[in-house]
Amino acid sequence: MQPVRRFLLVRHGESEWNAVGRWQGQADPPLSRNGQEQAYLASQRIGMVDAIVASTLHRAFDTARIISENIGVGPVFVEPDLMERHAGEWEGLTRHEIEDAWPGYLDAQRRPPGYELDEVLLERVHAGLARIRVEVPGDDILVVTHGGVISALESSFGLEWVRVPNLGARWFTWDGAKFHLGERIELVDDAHTTVQPRGQL
């Protein structure tokens, strides 16, 4: 029987585009100064993990690197399939710019043609998690990823959408055959998070 393994999927710290309300998707803006501070504060609350994995996007990798340096666990492994959902034509735009070009789409929860659908996102995320299970040793793995990834996984368990703040996280447990949903936690308090509207990646 395989041992139970736990995966803490964490959203990265605030990026420079988060701070000004631009949709990111797979664009690659860096962490803001606040995001760097969030990562440091999160490292004080993580506790002990056996390994750290990150998306290849800088805002996730740099969050993981800061945590790694402060808790003494490394190196940071990278997994490309854990990057954020592609936001298609909306990448780099503010909500105001989206509303101007696609009137009513946001309120109706519609998305542009190039937007990565949940089923496509989940297929690659599960492939990435499968590689982590094979290639990364340890029972408790910290995975620094993106809000869209965590939300899509939560939705696959039937949960309604609830915004994942910067350094918000969700535990998942692997029992050797499938994943089980664990608790949602926040690694930094509200004073260090930026409120972002629904859907902003």
User: Considering only CA atoms, which of 179, 130, 134, 170 is closest in space to residue 4?
Assistant: 179
Find, among 107, 91, 88, 148, the residue nearest to 99 by Cα. 107
Which CATH number goes with the domain that contains 54? 3.40.50.1240
Pairing of strands 140-145, 76-78: unpaired
- 159 lies in a domain? yes
Name the catalytic one among 12, 86, 146, 192. 12
Residue 201 CA to residue 189 CA, distance in Å, equals 20
Task: Give the global pTM.
Answer: 0.92
Q: How many Cα atoms sit within 13 Å of 106 on the Cβ side?
A: 19
The C-alpha atoms of residue 144 and residue 120 are separated, in whole angstroms, by 20
Q: Is residue 123 part of a domain?
A: yes
CA angle 194, 200, 201 (to 5 degrees): 95
Euclidean distance between CA atoms 148 and 141, whole angstroms: 19
In this structure, is residue 23 part of a structural domain? yes
The active-site residue out of 79, 84, 91, 186 is 84
| Confidence (pLDDT) at 201 | 58
Identify the domain containing residue 155 by its residue range: 5-192
How many Å apart are CA 20 and CA 25, to the nearest integer?
Answer: 15
Establish if 86 belongs to a structural domain. Answer: yes
Do the domain assignments include residue 183? yes
Q: Is residue 79 part of a domain?
A: yes
Contact assessment for residue 24 and residue 17, using Cβ atoms and an 8 Å cutoff = yes
- With respect to residue 148, please indicate whether it lies within any of the assigned structural domains: yes
Question: Which has the closest alpha carbon to 10: 165, 195, 162?
Answer: 165
The total domain count for the chain is 1
pLDDT in tens, 153-183: 999 999 999 999 999 999 999 999 999 999 9
The C-alpha atoms of residue 62 and residue 33 are separated, in whole angstroms, by 12
180 is catalytic: no
In a domain, 100, yes or no: yes
pLDDT tens across the length of the chain (201 residues): 467 899 999 999 999 999 999 999 999 999 999 999 999 999 999 989 999 999 999 999 999 999 999 999 999 999 999 999 999 999 999 999 999 999 999 999 999 999 999 999 999 999 999 999 999 999 999 999 999 999 999 999 999 999 999 999 999 999 999 999 999 999 998 655 554 444 455
The question of whether 12 is a catalytic residue gets the answer yes
